[in-house]
Structure 1
């Protein structure tokens, strides 16, 4: 077994996990706070990557500016889903599916072909590599950590504001917060735009890190996001602060990609990764429920014995 190869693979997994962690933060907003599994994610992630690659390669745009446009494009995709859900009252999951399907064709139109390489283009990572002399995975990890810290801090601040608190309350009890005079349609729209904006940013970051954008790069993104959130909950579930919960989303993403890297190094076929992702999510969701049922049954049995 090549120890050096395993170390490099794990190093790459950590850097990818951090960059995908930005996507997981977006999924956390809709899944954990708003209680919606937003399937727009698969399309908006690819949208962010496709737009970033198109502007950097086709127009020679500054890679930082391209990331901003990727973020805005993700927000527009989220707004479309929010519009379908809040104005036309289409169920959230179906609204996400409709937007995701439409984005496939839109992404292909944007790129003009199925993929765009960035091998000869400057990215935010290549400039830092030239400046420091570090490896690609190391630079990706450093920049990813800085971006993650900034985003987690910004989200922590935002959700402590009046509108952020209303957004969280919408997910907890929509009827109550509506009775207090809050426009829940607006809070849902903001949440979906914010979520998909982060997803689009993640798509742009991953695109620049891996040096190419592909029409199918967002396939299964929602599954990865859910898996990372569940893993983060299992690892850091006892930490109650909101800042810790946001951090757990990124930590879960890193652990998820480490698991994938280890399994691939052990010889698993790369074509089976989707199956592995589904198994990880299913186990992470089922195990806590099974444990709680076992504990409840045990407490009930012990109580029955005492009464007897």
Structure 2
């Protein structure tokens, strides 16, 4: 293990020890209840998991099936859970909380909420937001976005201080990581936002910003250029691709252009952005020009696409 990785491991272990102690996870019983941490996790998953089976529980909790079976038998004995036969498959049995079990979980959830409230209540609103954002980021990074739900993503088009700077930063690290672009590309994006913010007109321009847990994870922009509009800054964080968000942003931007009466929309891209080009062509864009660009990377070809628009009925 190299020194850098060893240091990172040490920081993570230190945080784990701290937060475990804060929540009292080493106590024999959790939240002043009669349950252990493992038992509370089982009850929680039965409460929130649709069509919950013992097999599904074992997979979700990464728990030994024999150990889980003993917990479930104990819960049945004390009337906390019940099993019901699946109407579609008589061999499957779904797990549900009984009324007694639900009352126990309601009490545990209330105590847990109070515990977290007491933890964050002394903090400033800014610190609270930062804490929640960082915790959500930990989960997103470790799961590579697998637990993200599209309905939890919001899109706004009000521009807040810091938006342009953060989106410029996103362009810099994503294009460096995925296409090995130089910092000259980040400078190009920064310059484009400088011009956009100086000349911004809500009647002809718009910037859509996608957020998840108050963190910017994608964007697209429209800049009015006479009777044509330029599409710019179309970007998604890698963890949020494949959710239909890119298509949604593109469609909203084109709908805006039709509403404003633009006759056409054009954009500049490069030949290595194959997935984006696929989305553009599927939406009706066609290539109208190309030129070499060696500023951001070697052997780069800059492409211009355009789509003619019809006025909405």
Question: Smaller-chain TM-score range?
Answer: under 0.3
| TM-score, L = length of structure 1 | 0.24
Identify the structure with the greater strand proportion.
2
- Considering only CA atoms, is the larger Rg found in Structure 1 or Structure 2? 2
Identify the structure with the greater helix proportion.
1
Q: Which has the higher contact order (CA 8 A, sep 6+)?
A: 1
